[in-house]
Amino acid sequence: MKAGCLRGVFYGMEEDMAKLAGRVLVAALMLVFGLGGTAGAHFGMVIPSDNMVMQADDRTIALNLSFSHPMEMVGMPLVKPKAFNVQANGEAQDLIPVLQPAQVMDHPAWTAAYPIKRPGVYMFVMEPQPYWEPAEDCYIIHYTKTVVTAFGDDEGWDAELGLKTEIVPLAKPYGLYAGNIFQGVVKLDGEPVPYAEVEVEYYNQDQSATAPTDYMVTQTVKADQNGVFSYAAPKAGWWGFAALNTADYTLKADGQDKDVELGAVIWVRFEDWQGR
């Protein structure tokens, strides 16, 4: 797992006993905070019940908002988001009033029912309240989005929403088979982020997937000089992509200025190939 904003430093110790104590401390921190690659990455999550709504389908979708380690199915509490909206057909709608408390991975989360009434490409976006992560000594804010298409409309899936940070899709974020390549460009303050690191995790909702080693829980790809990254999902289901950068501002914790990890997150569903 990428250590994010962690700034821990261990000082040299004298004599054999002091060195042994230092080794024990390091091992303990690895176990508790996941520094040894044993814990997955944090992900803001916005997961709809359907991302391709067809004419014969139920036209109301459910959206679950949460914060978690999705591959390991380890949840964290999500307080009521600072903002949650949908943008479609040139209009934005505030969905905070329709949010209802829920439980995801045994932790506080939120849910909303949204009726699809007309063709369009619907972009759902959550901005959470800053999350204090003591293990990384920083705050975390994940600007999280997902895209739903309805009734055959196929325009605007690559729109940039003007978020503080976001992943703008270069491949349709729906209608993908497992094994297809998904591409996106990482942006911060509207500008591409060269060589951005993008963490990738599978939403192991039915807990049927097992990583061969801890190194396989979270995968990491790097963008090119234009901020463009590519990833081919090996399995059908929901996959999260999170590009992390440090904000140009700090927030207070116990009276001290702390770094803020800004995450640009997008959730994309890949489908199985279906025979006749």
Q: Is residue 240 part of a domain?
A: yes
The answer to whether 198 and 170 have CB atoms below 8 angstroms apart is no
- What CA–CA distance (Å, rounded) separates 229 from 242? 11
Task: For residue 200, list its beta bridge partners.
Answer: 219, 241
Tell whether 18 and 47 lie within a shared domain.
Answer: no
Q: Is residue 212 part of a domain?
A: yes
Q: Shortest CA distance to 200 belongs to which of 215, 218, 178, 179?
A: 218
Tell whether 21 and 48 lie within a shared domain.
Answer: no
pLDDT, tens digit (0-9, with 9 covering 90-100), for 208-245: 999 999 999 999 999 999 999 999 999 999 999 999 99
* Res 67: pLDDT: 97
pLDDT, tens digit (0-9, with 9 covering 90-100), for 159-187: 999 999 999 999 999 999 999 999 999 99
Give the DSSP per-residue string, the chain: ---TT----PPP--HHHHHHHHHHHHHHHHHHH-TTTTS---EEEEEES-SEE-TTS-SEEEEEEEEEETTTTEEE--PPPSEEEEEETTEEEE-GGG-EEEEETTEEEEEEEEE--SSEEEEEEEEPPPEEETTTTEEEEEEEEEEEEETT--S-TT-----SEEEEESS-SSSEETTPEEEEEEEETTEE-TT-EEEEEE--TTS----SSGGGTSEEEE--TTSEEEEE-SSSEEEEEEEEEE-SS-EEETTEEEEEEEEEEEEEEEE-----
Instruction: Count up the domains in the chain and report the number.
Output: 2
Q: Is residue 162 part of a domain?
A: yes
Quote the pTM value. Answer: 0.85
Q: Is residue 276 part of a domain?
A: no
Tell whether 146 and 176 lie within a shared domain.
Answer: yes
* Res 275: pLDDT: 77
Tell whether 164 and 216 lie within a shared domain.
Answer: yes
Enter the tokens of residue 150: 């309805």
Tell whether 121 and 199 lie within a shared domain.
Answer: yes
- What CA–CA distance (Å, rounded) separates 51 from 70? 18
Tell whether 137 and 252 lie within a shared domain.
Answer: yes
Tell whether 35 and 87 lie within a shared domain.
Answer: no
- Residue 22 lies in domain: 12-40
* Res 39: pLDDT: 53
Q: Is residue 2 part of a domain?
A: no
Tell whether 49 and 26 lie within a shared domain.
Answer: no
Tell whether 25 and 106 lie within a shared domain.
Answer: no
Q: Which residue is associated with the tokens 């000082």?
A: 11
Q: Is residue 81 part of a domain?
A: yes
Residues of the chain with pLDDT under 50: 1-4, 6-38
Tell whether 34 and 90 lie within a shared domain.
Answer: no
The answer to whether 85 and 125 have CB atoms below 8 angstroms apart is yes
Q: Is residue 237 part of a domain?
A: yes
The CA-to-CA distance between both ends of the chain, in Å, stands at 41
Q: Is residue 3 part of a domain?
A: no
Q: Shortest CA distance to 233 belongs to which of 272, 180, 175?
A: 180
Tell whether 132 and 26 lie within a shared domain.
Answer: no
Tell whether 25 and 127 lie within a shared domain.
Answer: no
Q: What is the biggest distance separating any 2 CA atoms in the chain, rounded to whole angstroms?
A: 74
